[in-house]
Structure 1
């Protein structure tokens, strides 16, 4: 079972872990904001009726904080560099347990990278590609509609053909799940 007690930290560890997690997430949000600002200053004109200026703007508008959690027992890492299809496949295989596909940016080894993972109904992450190394942070959107999940290896926010319609039209309201914690509550604009 995915929500078994051995898959979650103890309450005593939460205070210290929460502070370091929030700091890592805040750094990741700053990174996304910086790239959104660079996209605005790039000189490219985006039509005024588009929903989002860039994937960074989309993440800032719709993204959520997803809490890292230890991998369930028995889950061994799926192939590296295939996070999009790994997460889509793992979510499909465990959809009956409430897992959904999520995509955005994640922090690993003090580097911010485009990444995909799965999210439990409580907003915690099961990452089928990366191990559960301390210091991870995840900021992304949770996609509820399996028809949008990228089984072919390309990401929703990183694949031009998938991204452009979303920037122009946005997501259908039923396509996303409101899992995780809000971005805006903790980090003021600089």
Structure 2
């Protein structure tokens, strides 16, 4: 099974762990990511700023986005070397060329990412409203801050999702960044 397939399979399992009741747009953080998330391959750290230690990814991604203008992304990372728990909630950024910039995991730890890129305005507003860095997920260092039930119940507004840069390509090349063109290969819930 490829890294992308394993990431999607495990997130689909997490999506079955419901936070909200029937009738919510997304009954869990994982369900929202599985529906709206985009797959990204890992990329080397761009080195525009020092990386932070693992464990504070939401804060580190927020700081990096503020300092560099990179796009903040929230979702899941796949680190196959972590055999017991290789898929975990995570935040990272996207550089202007669409490459992953992970300010809290050293190069080589994660091989794939699945997440929702967020606009700067939406990220700032939600972080202010919730008084924590995660937009959808629970705050990992504050048990009093649950997942964002408002967004899980009603869904993300269209202005929440950032448009991604489209890298230049050769004539006839069709590969692009963006939501998966089909559900082929995605686990069914």
In structure 1, the partner of 2:187 is 189
Q: Does 1:61 align with 2:38?
A: no
Q: Partners of 1:101 and 1:158 in 2: how far apart?
A: 14
List gaps (5 residues or longer) in structure 1. Answer: 1-19
In structure 2, the partner of 1:163 is 148
In structure 2, the partner of 1:93 is 67
Q: Does 1:141 align with 2:116?
A: yes
- Contact 2:74/2:116 (CA < 8 Å) preserved in 1? yes
Deviations 1:12-47, CA, capped at 9 Å, x for gaps: xxxxxxxx9xx21221111011122343xxxx7724
SS at match of 2:92: strand
SS at match of 2:54: coil
Greater alpha carbon shift after TM alignment, 137-146 vs 86-95: 137-146
List gaps (5 residues or longer) in structure 2. Answer: 139-144, 165-176
- Contact 1:104/1:114 (CA < 8 Å) preserved in 2? yes
CA RMSD of aligned residues (A): 2.6
Q: State the TM-score, normalizing by the size of structure 1.
A: 0.72
- Contact 2:58/2:92 (CA < 8 Å) preserved in 1? yes
Q: State the TM-score, normalizing by the size of structure 2.
A: 0.73
Alignment of 1:37-48 (within 5 A): 37-39=16-18, 46-48=21-23
Q: Higher helix proportion, which one? A: 1
